[in-house]
Amino acid sequence: MNDLKALLVEGIHPVAADVLASSGIEVDRESRAMGGEELVSRLAGVQVLGLRSGTHVTAEVLAQAPDLRVIGAFCIGTNQIDLRAATERGIAVFNAPFSNTRSVVELAIAEIIALTRRLTVQDDAMHAGQWRKSAKGSHELRGRRLGIVGYGKIGSQLSVLAEALGMHVRFFDTADRLALGNARRCATLEELLADSDVVSLHVDGRPGNSGMFGDAQFGLMPRGAIFLNLSRGFLVDHSALRERIVSDHLAGAAVDVFPNEPAGPGDPFESELRGLPNVILTPHVGGSTEEAQQDIGDFVAGKLLGYLRAGATGLSVNLPEVQLPRLDGATRLLLLHRNQPGALAHLAGVLADGGLNVEQQLLTTSGTVGYAVTDVRGTVGDGVVDRLRGLPETIRLDLLTG
């Protein structure tokens, strides 16, 4: 571990650096996102990369980072990472699928209340020295209809809190999801849009979802409805959203994510949504509470250490899940290989020829790849390592000793 280096970018919570450094890993930190040649140059000699949503790790970047072993996405989404290319190079990827869920949901609830009560408009008027006491356009949440697009971890928790506030919840998801409380599932997106006073978008960033919300979808929403997007910026046509707000078809919107986001704090921000009434714009801070960021930092750093120390891939987003307790005094072989017949037999043959006794072994496959973790007694010579790395199925082989 003392020979490993980590690069953490985008202002990841300091607890992550502390966790890694306490295990002897040399940690370099940056507060901004990186990409392209700059990222490639900084990854020289680096085995561990930590990032958030603004740093894009492409196949080209990975091809020029031969030392990289593991990537931690200190956020929920991983669409900023070429997962196929990472898998082909034997690089494990971990994320934080749960840690900031509550923070995102609380922001959504706060924005729904603010927009429904038109607090932003009232606040602007007061700061401009205008006293506009009026109930026009201001509503209670109780009895209003919330439509949730995407009923995963965030959408389902939003459903529970919104119902507790008296809202009638309906949702649409392409996957089978269990409705919580009195929430009602809609058969189609069109059904949900036509029957919701508030629509909140909580889908993932897979390429097929790009541009899923445009003028046609906004047109199906009732006049005076409110729209929220706290998921991915490229899902929504912001020009169409602007037109629907300017025309008073929509009464307001809250947007936390954008198609093109500044690389770091203080950089200029441009959007056609700026300056619109009853529109809340936030700089991708849905999961950015101190509590959430600390939890994410601790959680993902722990996953990175688990992989580096023991080859554990529990909750990895791209590798088969294997978790095997370490044996004292044994050498652990981590073999990521193509999922094809004979791979395990070839591994066993090489170990037998090298006079190595297998103490414990666990193999899991997923799709096109397999992952075998094997503990052996005896000296693992260079000849054994060279033969294993030369097997036709081998993607990557790592050894853990001590």
Residues 221 and 74 grouped into a single domain:
no
Whether the predicted pLDDT of 100 surpasses 90: no
| Strand ranges for 217-289 from DSSP E | 225-229, 250-255, 279-281
In the annotation, is 202 catalytic? no
Residues 273 and 197 grouped into a single domain:
yes
CATH of the domain at 117: 3.40.50.720
Residues 248 and 236 grouped into a single domain:
yes
Task: Please give the model's pTM, rounded to 2 decimal places.
Answer: 0.82
Could you say which of 145, 261, 338, 377 is catalytic?
A: 261
Two structure tokens written together for 249: 């078809």
Residues 83 and 113 grouped into a single domain:
no
Average pLDDT, integer, range 227-255: 97
| Predicted pLDDT at 56 | 94
Q: Is 88 helix (H, G, I), strand (E, B) or coil?
A: helix
CA distance 237 to 357: 60
3-state helix, strand, coil in the chain (%, to 5): 30, 20, 45
Residues 161 and 185 grouped into a single domain:
yes
Whether the predicted pLDDT of 52 surpasses 80: yes
Residues 145 and 172 grouped into a single domain:
yes
Average pLDDT, integer, range 81-93: 97
* Domain that residue 76 falls in: 1-99+290-319
Strands of the 5-8 sheet, one edge to the other: 26-29, 5-8, 48-51, 70-73, 92-94
Contact partners, residue 55, CB within 8 Å, separation at least 6: 9, 10, 33, 34, 35, 39, 80
- pLDDT tens per residue, range 157-215: 999 999 999 999 999 999 999 999 999 999 999 999 999 999 999 998 888 888 999 99
Two structure tokens written together for 287: 């999961």
Residues 40 and 90 grouped into a single domain:
yes
- pLDDT tens per residue, range 259-269: 989 877 788 99
CATH of the domain at 356: 3.30.70.260
Residues 141 and 273 grouped into a single domain:
yes
Whether the predicted pLDDT of 81 surpasses 80: yes
Residues 181 and 35 grouped into a single domain:
no
Average pLDDT, integer, range 251-258: 97
Q: Please count the residues of the chain.
A: 402
- Using a 10 angstrom Cβ sphere, with 0-12 exposed, 13-18 middle and 19 or more buried, the burial of residue 287 is buried
Average pLDDT, integer, range 241-268: 93
In the annotation, is 261 catalytic? yes
Local confidence band at 219 (pLDDT 50, 70, 90 cut-offs): very high
Q: Name the least confident of 201-210, 303-312, 341-350.
A: 201-210
Residues 202 and 191 grouped into a single domain:
yes
Nearest CA to 54 among 7, 13, 10, 8?
10
Residues 182 and 313 grouped into a single domain:
no
Two structure tokens written together for 42: 């900084």
Residues 235 and 313 grouped into a single domain:
no
Strands of the 168-172 sheet, one edge to the other: 184-185, 168-172, 145-149, 198-201, 225-229, 250-255, 279-281
CA distance 356 to 352: 6
Residues 257, 228, 112, 108: is their CA dihedral positive or negative? negative
CA distance 239 to 223: 18
Could you say which of 89, 170, 232, 332 is catalytic?
A: 232
Whether the predicted pLDDT of 322 surpasses 90: yes
**Cβ-contact 320, 291 below 8 angstroms:** no
DSSP state of 25: -
Question: pLDDT averaged over the chain?
Answer: 95
- Using a 10 angstrom Cβ sphere, with 0-12 exposed, 13-18 middle and 19 or more buried, the burial of residue 104 is buried
In the annotation, is 26 catalytic? no
Could you say which of 170, 242, 284, 387 is catalytic?
A: 284
Percent of the chain with pLDDT over 70: 100
If one counts the domains in the chain, the total is: 3
- pLDDT tens per residue, range 21-45: 999 999 999 999 999 999 999 999 9
Whether the predicted pLDDT of 147 surpasses 70: yes
In angstroms, what CA-CA distances link 301 with 28, 75, 87, 292, 320? 14, 12, 20, 14, 19
Whether the predicted pLDDT of 150 surpasses 70: yes
Average pLDDT, integer, range 233-238: 95
**Cβ-contact 242, 248 below 8 angstroms:** no
CA distance 240 to 84: 33
| Predicted pLDDT at 1 | 64
Average pLDDT, integer, range 248-258: 97
Whether the predicted pLDDT of 127 surpasses 70: yes
